[in-house]
Structure 1
Amino acid sequence: MKLLFGPLLFFVFSTLSAQVLVINELDSDNPSTDTAEFVEIKSQTQNFSTDGYILVFFNGSTSGNDSSYLVIDLSGYTTDNNGLLVIGSAGVGPFPQLLISENIIQNGADAVAIYQDSPTAFPEGTMANITNLIDVLIYDTSDPDDLGLIDIFNDDPNFASITQINEGSSGSVNSIQRNNDGSYFTATPTPRRLNDGSGTPINPITVSVSDTQIDEGASLEITFTSEVNVTSDLNFDIALNNFGFNTSDYTGSTSLTIANGQNSTSTTISLVDDTDDEGDEVLEISFINLIEPIVPFNNKVEVRVVDNDFTTAPWGTPVNPTFGQVTSTQPTGYYDSLDGLSDVALRQALQDIIADPSTVRAQTYADVIDILKEADQNPENSNEVWLVYSEEGRAKLDLQTTSSNTGKWNREHTFPRSLGGFNDIEDDEIADGINVFWETKADSLRHANSDAHALRAADAAENSSRGNQHYGEYIGPSGTLGSFRGDVARGVLYLEIRYNGLEVVNGFPSTVGQLGDLATLLDWHRNDPPDDYEMNRNNLVYIWQLNRNPFIDQPDLVEYIWGNNVGENWDQTLSFEEVISDHLKIFPNPSNGYFQIKGLNKETQIDLYTIDGKLLNDYYYTGNYIELKVSSGVYIIKLKQGNRIFTKKLIIN
């Protein structure tokens, strides 16, 4: 056996070395939260076209079952002067020729393989196989060997002695690199450079900027620095265009020269201060015409351009709410079918309205991003969304798109998906706009995943902190004003009526489909009544979904379904505000603590709220002055006659 081992090993390595393409280097895990992952493939000859080849990644975990989770089509790409093609994320330097998202390559034990095949040959979840296999690397990050993957690829005689290669423990600074004889070693990553240090030397150019965020009207200095001095004048061009940002938005030279014997040059770009409300934009600094051995070290460098022409709404944010400025856009007679009903009949009639399959639409989970940018727009700045728990504005551009959630916002399910038993599907990844939708009904529980009435823009880190806690367990971040509480209460109560299979209950249940705590949410609803922000939101979601949250339009419905009026017949609000707003007057306003109401001709219940929605006291108005023993400030007076409600702002000196 010893006599045969050497020749056999030589045969295997010789076979491998004859491959047209090999996996030359892999960095699947790095300390920078996987912002610099890459795979480098190498061709036998320089400038080799990879048309007709694909790169397939296999998940070796128990749940992954040694099947594919990612396929990259290599068609349209060519290896460089050293026969190398780097497929990696934007944090890799020198910059990859084929760019992929951050944190997409999984840690081991996994495998990555080159096939001469079509991407359609490996739909997600395809078991690893050796058909049309060109090369494979089975790797781990200090994990046990995946014997299943090893056995599968050992069936190919070219890989009969294949082993699993350890990149190092989690967060390793190493990459796995291929020796010329087909064996592997680990070392500091060397993307776009041959692992043995040979080959044509490259000279990467680094882009640096004076600021990563600038205002319209300001200037940006961009510097370009080569790794070593150039040996002749280096002329190159850059582009700054990115979506709506184009040459009309700036002035300055984009054609540059690094002089012979030097290693840097710079340009100053001046941003045009126009009067258009374009929203914040991002310029992207990209090289256009670098020629090897000059290559980008970094590329597509982004700089935010802050638009100073944002607009403000006439209504307030949830922490500074206004009332009565935004009216419901519900169709005439929208709730008429509820009149005179109670209990189960009232619930069913309400569901028949908001889950009507002939009218109501369901959008994709990706569409929800566009909905939230409208519905959760910050009233104080049209370039921002308002974050539900952290009670602040955040730039719309700061949507979380990678694993990093710092300073980002994302979509918060007020009824957590894990508790509701709903999730997204592959088609949910496509934002296809308002005119493309699914038909939906009360039994379409999956559509709760993308129902914007119960989804909110939230700080991504705070969303993670909330997790799947029930309300009452979760009451908001430290220092919260609680301005979101009534909003989320009405959102999840809406879901119970809208979808069969969901229920809001007392306590903190562990049953899928149930959310708590009902008593807490009823308290939140009562103490944080619907304001203009929430009504505007209801109106905008209605445009997309063609249904409304009835507990914003008719907040007292909550009492008839869950609260103090269960069992009583409902008679809808008769547009009390429209009837009395023209002649009702609270005076004096501002007040020194006493006020009277002109325009009421019958006894009326009056609730006094703080500006942030906390109920302070209730009164019964019979026509006399009411004394308020409160400190100076702005308060909300809520008038109630039966099911009819009207609100007014009162200033106390």
Structure 2
Amino acid sequence: MLKKLFFCLLMASTSIVQSQVLINEFDSDTPSTDDKEFIELKSEAPNFSLNGYVLVFFNGTGSLADTSYFSISLNGLTTDVNGLILIGNNLVSPVPERVFGVSSIQNGPDGVGLYLGSTADFPMGTTATTTNLIDALVHSNAVAQATNLFPLLGVSTQINENVNSQGTSQSIQRKTDGTWEVKAPTPGANNDGSGFIFNGITITANTAHKNEGDTFPITFTTQTNVTSDLSFSFTLNNGSFNTADFTGTTSVFIPTGSNTFSTTITLVDDIVDEGDEVLKIKFGDLPLGYNRRNDNVEIRVVDNDFSTSPYGTPLNPTFGNVTSTVPIGYYASIEGLSGAALKQGLQDIIANPAVVRAHTYGDITDILKVADQNPLNSNQVWLMYVETPRAKLDFQTSSSSIGSWNREHIYPQSRGGFANATEDTPDGINVWLPTSADDIAAGHSDAHHLRAEDGPENSSRSNKDYGLTGYNGPSGTQGSWKGDVARSVFYMAVRYNGLEVVNGDIPDTTVGQLGDLASLLSWNQSDARDDFEMNRNNYIYTWQMNRNPFIDYPNLADYIWGIHAGEQWFSSLSTNENSTIYFVVYPNPAKDSFTVSGLNSDAVLELYNSLGMKVFKQNFIGQTTMNPNVSTGVYLAKITSNGKSEVRKIVIQ
């Protein structure tokens, strides 16, 4: 009898403890970019420990319906004097006690549950359950229902965050009677306006990029005048940015009756190339009664100590300044081969399982920071399609790609059949897996067809073919990447069994084939291999132990797919570096003018019409724009420099 009584008391006690905390407010659909998402919990008693609790978010519809997509451990958190705890994005104000990334919470119809347990109990794809469930909410921003979640989460209704047709401006809030309402968000405060009101502190600073040596003010402002002297500290440290990189006080003092304090920070101008860095203005511990209206304010510090390379960007290319590091005899086995034997011979070299190494997708980020480094600034990468540099620091780490760069697959993942096939964790140059021509998964992280690219442009390129009605780059750019793309596609079509480059524009869903071959063969000729491309070939070789043969010998493509297909190939048939000049003519077709780039010594351009008559001549040096003032038609442009000549076809529209 005593055992039964003790058990009943224990169960009642456990029930009381579990019911002490509930979901109080939820905002999944926030203005513009879902960067102010939050979930707020409320405990019956203040200062309640959340050790042993976990929040789990579930899909409501689709193929993954009823399973978890995200979880947050609440260990180490304690509710405040009002019994509240806020978890959300960094831009939520006041700042959450636990921060998660932008767009982490889906807008619905979906569900969220508060459980006793840990994130280990809810790996991604876990089916919703009422076991150890404390509280739950099924939510949406529209009328669509996730009714299957109701019994799984023990609820009978779904709350529409947009029930008042206010778009993204309202949140779901629990009323004192336990029911829900939708109104303007009240994060960090009781939904009915009662309870203790905190005096919030705001950091104000100009977040525009700063250079080493610059000074800038930081101001701290309380919502209301302080009733006693307020002192606290802040830090600027973040990653490699530390106290050696700035001078100025990091102590704040606001006297009684005032509400503001300002200090000036000076960035140290050293002579060390540390790369661009980001400082982070971050509060230290605040006294009771105060909270943070914002925090983790980031400012980019641009390092003026950078190095340059002895070669040009793809937009202003140089030729012959970077020497190939191809080993002697690397291509000896394909001498005299033709047709299918030539293609197979190349594959035997660049997919040799005894030599070639496969790395992870995570390693690609580190590879591209060197292989695609901007020759004019070692702290930047060169973005291929948009033809511009971007700071290495701006690698995309969240769901938002705006202003960031990421890893562009030239042979699209879905078209190659290797989507997400390797890990996103870098292992380093000394860790690799063996590979072969049949190892299609290695294509996911093959650096010879991966380039640094602007995030939104990468999305715009998607999985389209090149040329014809496919992808031809952003409007207004000069196509300095087209030959690079062609040679990367040719490499993939030889390196991996099951991948082809074909004529025509084929459906974007086609796996194993990519077009348009004719366009790519033309691009291989019109956009000559330059020093930037040769440098990447050399560097990638140090990781993968294979090379892109179409960079070392661009005309190999013509012997496999082009005008020389079926003929024997010999290295002596390749372009003679000593008798040829390299330059770029763009745009082509042109309208009133065109530009010649890549020649840094005295040169002369002669323009001939279809009858062989010279109609224009101009001496020039360096990048020069020509205005030939000729009628529309097809012309031959002969350019001569240092006793060498090259002829290109140019169309005047």
TM-score tier, shorter chain, comes to 0.7 to 0.9
Shift of 1:611: 5.9
| CA RMSD in angstroms, aligned pairs only | 2.6
Q: 1:210 to 1:559 in 2, by over 3 A?
A: same
Tell me which of 483, 490, 495 is aligned to 2:487. 490
State how far apart, in whole Å, the 2-side matches of 1:552 and 1:98 are.
49
Identify the residue that residue 566 of structure 2 maps to in structure 1: 567
Local SS of the residue matching 2:541: helix
Tell me which of 336, 339, 342 is aligned to 2:338. 342
Shift of 1:547: 1.5
1:438-517 aligned at under 5 Å gives the runs: 438-472=433-467, 473-510=470-507, 511-517=510-516
Shift of 1:350: 1.2
1:591-606 aligned at under 5 Å gives the runs: none
State how far apart, in whole Å, the 1-side matches of 2:641 and 2:487 are.
22
Identify the residue that residue 538 of structure 1 maps to in structure 2: 537
The yes-or-no answer on 1:205 pairing with 2:201 is: yes
Give CA deviations for 1:453-491 in whole Å, capped at 9, x if unaligned.
Answer: 111111222222222221112211112211100001111
Identify the residue that residue 49 of structure 2 maps to in structure 1: 49
1:177–1:185 CA contact under 8 A, matched in 2: yes
The amino acid of 1:363's aligned partner reads: H
Shift of 1:651: 10
Give CA deviations for 1:518-576 in whole Å, capped at 9, x if unaligned.
Answer: 00000000111111000011111122222111110111211111112211222235998
Identify the residue that residue 12 of structure 1 maps to in structure 2: none
1:529–1:613 CA contact under 8 A, matched in 2: no
Identify the residue that residue 524 of structure 1 maps to in structure 2: 523
Identify the residue that residue 398 of structure 2 maps to in structure 1: 402
Identify the residue that residue 180 of structure 1 maps to in structure 2: 176
Identify the residue that residue 596 of structure 1 maps to in structure 2: none
1:634–1:650 CA contact under 8 A, matched in 2: no
Identify the residue that residue 418 of structure 1 maps to in structure 2: 414
Identify the residue that residue 74 of structure 1 maps to in structure 2: 74
1:43-442 aligned at under 5 Å gives the runs: 43-154=43-154, 159=155, 162-168=156-162, 171-425=167-421, 428-442=423-437
Local SS of the residue matching 1:377: coil
Shift of 1:17: 11
State how far apart, in whole Å, the 1-side matches of 2:574 and 2:501 are.
29
State how far apart, in whole Å, the 2-side matches of 1:378 and 1:90 are.
32
State how far apart, in whole Å, the 2-side matches of 1:480 and 1:132 are.
58
1:357–1:439 CA contact under 8 A, matched in 2: yes
Shift of 1:127: 0.9
Percent of residue pairs bearing the same amino acid type: 53
Q: 1:557 to 1:152 in 2, by over 3 A?
A: same
Shift of 1:94: 0.4
Give CA deviations for 1:603-629 in whole Å, capped at 9, x if unaligned.
Answer: x7x67744669799xxxxxxxxx9955
State how far apart, in whole Å, the 1-side matches of 2:147 and 2:293 are.
38
State how far apart, in whole Å, the 1-side matches of 2:240 and 2:110 are.
40
The amino acid of 2:158's aligned partner reads: Q
Identify the residue that residue 597 of structure 1 maps to in structure 2: none
Shift of 1:32: 3.0
Give CA deviations for 1:35-57 in whole Å, capped at 9, x if unaligned.
Answer: 10011112222222211111100
State how far apart, in whole Å, the 1-side matches of 2:44 and 2:524 are.
69
1:17–1:182 CA contact under 8 A, matched in 2: no
Local SS of the residue matching 1:382: coil
How many residues align structurally? Answer: 588
2:527–2:584 CA contact under 8 A, matched in 1: no
Local SS of the residue matching 2:483: helix
State how far apart, in whole Å, the 2-side matches of 1:26 and 1:342 are.
67
Worse overlay, 466-475 or 51-60: 466-475
Shift of 1:188: 1.1
Q: 1:634 to 1:627 in 2, by over 3 A?
A: closer
Worse overlay, 298-307 or 409-418: 409-418
1:239–1:285 CA contact under 8 A, matched in 2: yes
Q: Which runs of 5+ in 2 are unaligned?
A: 1-14, 595-603, 608-616, 624-639, 646-653
The amino acid of 2:553's aligned partner reads: Q
State how far apart, in whole Å, the 2-side matches of 1:648 and 1:86 are.
69
State how far apart, in whole Å, the 2-side matches of 1:401 and 1:302 are.
15
The amino acid of 1:464's aligned partner reads: S
TM-score, with structure 2 as normaliser: 0.85
Shift of 1:332: 2.4
2:319–2:582 CA contact under 8 A, matched in 1: no
State how far apart, in whole Å, the 1-side matches of 2:397 and 2:303 are.
22
